[in-house]
Structure 1
Amino acid sequence: MNAMPVRILLMEDDPGDVELILEALRGSRVALSVERVGDGEEGMRYLRRQGEHAAATRPDLILLDLNMPRMDGREVLLEVKRDAGLRSIPVLVLTTSDAETDIAASYGLGANCYLQKPLGMDAFFRVIKGVEDFWLSLAKLPPRGVVLENRP
C-alpha cells in the first residue's frame, strides 16, 4: 500500500450519487483522499488550479459523470486528454447512460474505463468496490507529476 493516499477527483452533480460513492469508498483498504466538484467547469478549474482551487492537489484518478451542468463529461474528457499536464490521469466514466454512442464517444475521447451506474444500492456498491479492487489495488497508476509528450 502507498504511504500517500490515492487522490480521487469526483466530478458528479447528483448529491445522492456522491453520497453512495463516498459511502462505498469509506471501507477502502487503500488510503484515499476524495475531492468533489459538481460540474465540468469547476472540475477543469480544479485540475488547472484556478480561482478557488489554486491550492488543489493533482488527482491520481478522476471519476467522471457524463451528464453534468455547464460543461458535460464529454467536454471534460476532451480537455483533459488534450492537456499534456493532465492526460496521464486515468479517467473513469461513471454514468447512468448505457447508450452505445456515449460509450463509443467516451472511449474515443480517451476514457480509460466506462462504467454504468446500476440501480440499487448493493449493485452500486459492487461497481465502486470493483473500481477499488482494480484501479486502486491492482493497476499501477501513473507517477504523480508525469507529463506526457504531445502525440503525433
Structure 2
Amino acid sequence: METPNSLDSPREVNDLLLVEDNPADIRFVEETIDNSSLDATVHSVSTSAAGVDFVRQRGEYQDAPEPDLVFLDWNLRQTTGREVLTAIKEEHAHIPIVILTGSKVKVEPDQLPSTKADSVKEKPTDPDGYIEIIRSIAPNQ
C-alpha cells in the first residue's frame, strides 16, 4: 500500500526547519522569509543529528515546535541528507520534506531511501525560488 504524499493536502507553514550546514545559505533563507509576506518562523540547524533531534524534540530541542515543513540540504558536510530523511519519515511521515541540492548535484530517485522526500529541488539562487517552494505547499500563504 502506498503512503500518501504529505504534500497531498494544502497546509500552513508556520514553522520551517532548515537543515543546512552552509551559514550563507542559512542567512539567505532566513532573510528571504523575513522579507516576505509569509508569516513563518525559520528554525535552522547545521547537522543531521540536530535536525533529527529538533523534529523528535530531544535534548536541547525538547521545547521546539514541530515543523510544518523541512528544507533539507542533501549534501551535508558530515553526512548526507539520507539519514535525516529516513529518521524523520520513520516517525513523522506527515511532515513534508523538500530536499535541496546544489546546481551541479542531482539526486536520482534510486539514491533516495525507501521512505522518500516529498520533493527534490535545486537550491534557488533568488529569494522568489524559496517563496515559490513554500507556496506550492501552502498556497494560501
TM-score normalised according to structure 1 size = 0.74
Q: Answer 1 or 2: higher relative contact order, Cα 8 Å, separation at least 6.
A: 2
Consecutive aligned runs of 4 or more in structure 1 exceeding 4 Å deviation = 97-100
Percent sequence identity is 27
Secondary structure at 1:137's aligned position in 2? coil
Separation in structure 1 between the aligned mates of residue 131 and residue 57 of structure 2, nearest angstrom:
29
User: If each structure's helix is expressed as a fraction of its own residues, which one has the higher value?
Assistant: 1
- Contact map agreement 1:28 1:132 (CA 8 A) in 2: no
Equivalent residue in structure 1 for 2:108, among 90, 103, 106: 103
**2:33 aligned partner:** 25
User: Is 2:136 the counterpart of 1:134?
Assistant: yes
**1:143 aligned partner:** none
Separation in structure 2 between the aligned mates of residue 57 and residue 94 of structure 1, nearest angstrom:
22
Separation in structure 1 between the aligned mates of residue 97 and residue 13 of structure 2, nearest angstrom:
18
Separation in structure 1 between the aligned mates of residue 52 and residue 14 of structure 2, nearest angstrom:
19
Residue 46 of structure 1 deviates from its aligned partner by 1.0
- Root-mean-square deviation (CA, aligned residues, Å) is 2.3
Equivalent residue in structure 2 for 1:60, among 68, 73, 96: 68
Matched residues, number: 129
- Contact map agreement 2:13 2:68 (CA 8 A) in 1: no
| CA deviation map 1:46-82 (0-9, x unaligned) | 1111111111110000000011134421111111122
Change (3 A) 1:98 1:136: farther
Secondary structure at 1:87's aligned position in 2? coil
User: Is 2:124 the counterpart of 1:114?
Assistant: no
TM-score normalised according to structure 2 size = 0.79
* Structure 2: runs of 5 or more not aligned: 1-11
Residue 25 of structure 1 deviates from its aligned partner by 1.3
One-letter amino acid of the structure 1 residue matched with residue 42 of structure 2: V
**Which has the higher Rg, Structure 1 or Structure 2?**
1
One-letter amino acid of the structure 2 residue matched with residue 96 of structure 1: G
* Structure 1: runs of 5 or more not aligned: 140-152
